[in-house]
Amino acid sequence: MNYKAIGIMSGSSLDGLDIVFAEFQEQGGKWSYEILESACYPFDENLKIQLRDAVLLNALDYQLLHTSFGHYIGDKVNQFIKEKNLEYQVALIASHGHTTFHHPEKKMTAQLGDGAAIAATTQLPVVSDLRAMDVALGGQGAPIVPIGEKFLLNEYEYFLNLGGIANISVNQSPYIAFDICPANRVLNMLAQDAGKEYDEGGKMAASGNLHQDLLDRLNGFEYYKKPFPKSLANDFGTALIYPAIASANIPVADALHTYCVHIAQQIAASIEIGIKKSSFKAGGKLLATGGGAFNSFLIEKLKEKLKLLQIEVVVPEAGLVNYKEALIMAFIGVLRWRQEHNVLSSVTGASRDNIGGALWMGQPA
């Protein structure tokens, strides 16, 4: 079977809307893919502020933003289709939305970007609310990307996404994945303190110095002691980690340097604990994607830490680094369309594997 679908990702780093048009082929239970077109549409400053502060809105204004962001996503998809000459080629759209509230312990998660609004704007079938079913079944609702890694990128032992939050997947049976620590969301906030959108290539971090006292404080947060499965809300980084760094009152370059070391340490520590418990395989290759894979200083520190565990860090070509999550959102949508499991309970802790996503039929009957 052959499927051509659009996947959409709005990450916690608030850099923009990632859109991928991909073709998926299934033959005898084996899947292959090709990214045919891709683009990132940056958020303007006003929209960034709206998304960042959405958790502060009253109920009505939150719902109005949910609707308006859905229409915005639909408009961007229409623009993408027109720019890439994809009219009448797209069978399905899958949109992750923008995560605001995430409280799996209360069986609740929320992503902005109304699927009905996207479907109405594009006149195409849309799958949205990808995490909700898993959370309702007692799962973390995160990470959900591992289903795509398992079927599309099976040659690696580990998968690391360095997005707004750093999360890892372990390619084994049962499949394991969890959130490790905040990453680009906090790094970008620190870079913005120096008047830059982000620390390009990790150059500022590389020029800074390590502050051991701050590093020890960061490593002491209770979340890092919890066993997997576990997941993080964005406010762990914005409301706890960033203020802890800011209170140290150190130069931005030093803060970036120290936080990059913290990220690398937490990734290595998570893997080492898994190996010691015989949960994870020792050695192998780790595929690093997400915007943080372009941070040379962070990758350097990560390679230093993981070399001790005989794990090779692989950074793929830029297309997969930038658009892996959007690609897998499209794949999750295809599985939902086929009414097949698209979220793994071994990853999330839900009571069973599940078929996540609400389906909105944008075209007339």
- In order, the DSSP letters of 151-177 are HH-TT-SEEEEESSEEEEEE-SSS-EE
- Residue 300 CA to residue 17 CA, distance in Å, equals 28
What does the angle CA 214 – CA 51 – CA 322 come to, to the nearest 5 degrees?
A: 75
Q: Which residues partner with 70 through β-bridges?
A: none
How confident is the chain (365 residues) per 10-residue block, as mean pLDDT? 96 87 96 97 96 96 98 98 98 97 95 98 98 97 92 94 94 91 96 96 98 98 93 92 98 98 98 89 93 97 97 96 95 98 95 98 94
Amino acid residing at 74: G
Residue 359, pLDDT score? 98
> H or E segment at 273?
helix 252-276
Q: What is the model's pLDDT at position 136?
A: 98
Name which CATH class applies to 2-146+325-360: alpha beta
Six-digit token string for 110: 């929320």
Query: Tokens 């290539």 correspond to what residue?
Result: 201
Q: Which CATH class is domain 155-320?
A: alpha beta
Q: Which residues pair with 99 in a beta bridge?
A: 111
233-313-38-72 Cα dihedral, nearest 10 degrees = 10
**Tokens standing for residue 50:** 């709206």
User: CA geometry: angle at 163 spanning 78 and 72, to 5°?
Assistant: 20
What's the rounded Cα separation, in Å, for the pair 18 and 315?
19
pTM equals: 0.85
Q: How many CB atoms are located within 10 Å of the residue 331 CB?
A: 25
Which pLDDT score is estimated for 229?
A: 86
Tell me the β-bridge partners of 73.
none
Q: Where in the chain is the domain with CATH 3.30.420.40?
A: 2-146+325-360, 155-320
* Per-residue pLDDT, 52: 93
Q: What is the pLDDT of residue 14?
A: 83
How many other C-beta atoms can be found within 10 angstroms of the C-beta atom of residue 206?
Answer: 18
Contact 24, 89 (CB under 8 A): no
